[in-house]
């Protein structure tokens, strides 16, 4: 079975999406529509902006979403997903690709998500750290033992777990994990503690917007970050998306579930190759590649 996977924050790069815009009138139409929905020219920043400008949360999330979703639209009839999943932000791209959300509603939610997360980051200083080379259980237990807020946030692949929380708690956890044999426990250059209780203000704000948005039945199952299992009910998809910002991204578990359910070919739709790299560490028996524009 063919599985389409959609990247999250961190996959952006200067010039992203320009080839799509130049080669496809359909892509142009969607990019211009996006500029109008967002109220600023995101295409100028995507095509000509610096890496620094692209790192701004209000730009990063819509830019990655647009690159992924517009590429899926341009693939036309060759885009036939039998299962989809997205990493964090990528889940919203996946929900547009499998027909649950319209392009307009998806982009509006992504924009609101980015701004809500930015606001939550400003409320309290917080951060994330990547922990390499330890078993998940050791990382989880260490986080539970540390004083303050720190939790396992992104299960990216076996031996790579991102933790998230208050700066002091994350630093204490990194020191403890290094002592327990982590190859590396390094702070990430992010603006806040995504997928942790620190995102509660953003979760509440985004949940209200999700509640007011129409969700349709999907054309194929989506393996959601929160459950790491196939979900086909619009109301359940909505409910899971509402708690995504404060819950961990169970990416390793999602991919394993997709493989167990018959996924053999994984195609990354969007900028970068982050998910293809993770795929090779999660399961080498399946193929992983990138979606490419039709010639």
User: Are 83 and 230 spatial neighbours (Cβ–Cβ below 8 Å)?
Assistant: yes
3-state secondary structure of 247: coil
Give CA–CA dist 207/91, Å, rounded. Answer: 15
Choosing from 87, 195, 196, 254, which is the catalytic residue?
195
Is the four-CA dihedral 156, 205, 31, 265 of positive or negative sign? positive
User: Are 56 and 9 spatial neighbours (Cβ–Cβ below 8 Å)?
Assistant: no
- Does residue 78 have an active-site annotation? no
Give CA–CA dist 285/108, Å, rounded. Answer: 37
Give CA–CA dist 288/291, Å, rounded. Answer: 10
Among 169, 139, 138, 164, residue whose Cα is nearest residue 151: 164
Among 59, 11, 2, 3, residue whose Cα is nearest residue 156: 11
User: Are 188 and 127 spatial neighbours (Cβ–Cβ below 8 Å)?
Assistant: yes
User: Are 178 and 273 spatial neighbours (Cβ–Cβ below 8 Å)?
Assistant: no
Choosing from 24, 67, 68, 88, which is the catalytic residue?
88
Kindly provide the residue ranges of all beta strands, DSSP E only, lying in the chain, ordered along the sequence.
2-6, 83-86, 126-132, 150-157, 160-166, 184-187, 222-223, 230-231, 265-268, 287-290
- Does residue 88 have an active-site annotation? yes
Q: Which residues are catalytic?
A: 88, 195
């Amino acid at each position: 079975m063919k599985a389409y996977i959609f990247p999250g924050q961190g996959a952006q790069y200067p010039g992203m999406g320009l080839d799509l815009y130049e080669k496809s009138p359909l892509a142009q139409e969607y990019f211009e529509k996006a500029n109008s929905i967002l109220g600023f020219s995101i295409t100028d920043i995507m095509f000509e902006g610096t890496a620094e400008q692209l790192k701004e949360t209000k730009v990063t999330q819509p830019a990655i979403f647009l690159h992924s979703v517009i590429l899926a639209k341009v693939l036309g009839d060759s885009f036939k997903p039998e299962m989809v999943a997205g990493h964090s932000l990528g889940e919203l791209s996946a929900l547009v690709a499998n027909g649950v959300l319209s392009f307009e509603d998806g982009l509006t939610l992504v924009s609101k998500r980015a701004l809500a997360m930015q606001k939550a980051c400003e409320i309290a200083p917080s951060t994330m750290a990547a922990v390499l080379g330890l078993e998940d259980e050791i990382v989880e237990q260490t986080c539970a033992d540390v004083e303050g807020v720190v939790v396992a946030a992104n299960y990216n692949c076996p031996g790579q777990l991102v933790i998230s929380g208050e700066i002091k708690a994350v630093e204490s956890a990194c020191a403890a994990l290094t002592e327990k044999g982590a190859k590396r426990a390094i702070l990430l250059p992010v603006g806040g503690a995504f997928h942790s209780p620190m995102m509660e203000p953003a979760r509440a704000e985004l949940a209200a917007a999700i509640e007011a948005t129409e969700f349709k039945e999907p054309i194929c199952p989506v393996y959601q970050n929160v459950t790491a299992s196939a979900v086909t009910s619009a109301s359940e998809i909505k409910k899971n998306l509402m708690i995504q910002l404060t819950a961990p991204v169970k990416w390793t578990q999602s991919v394993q579930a997709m493989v167990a359910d018959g996924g053999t070919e994984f195609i990354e739709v969007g900028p970068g190759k982050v998910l293809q790299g993770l795929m090779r560490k999660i399961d080498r028996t399946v193929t992983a590649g990138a979606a490419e524009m039709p010639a």
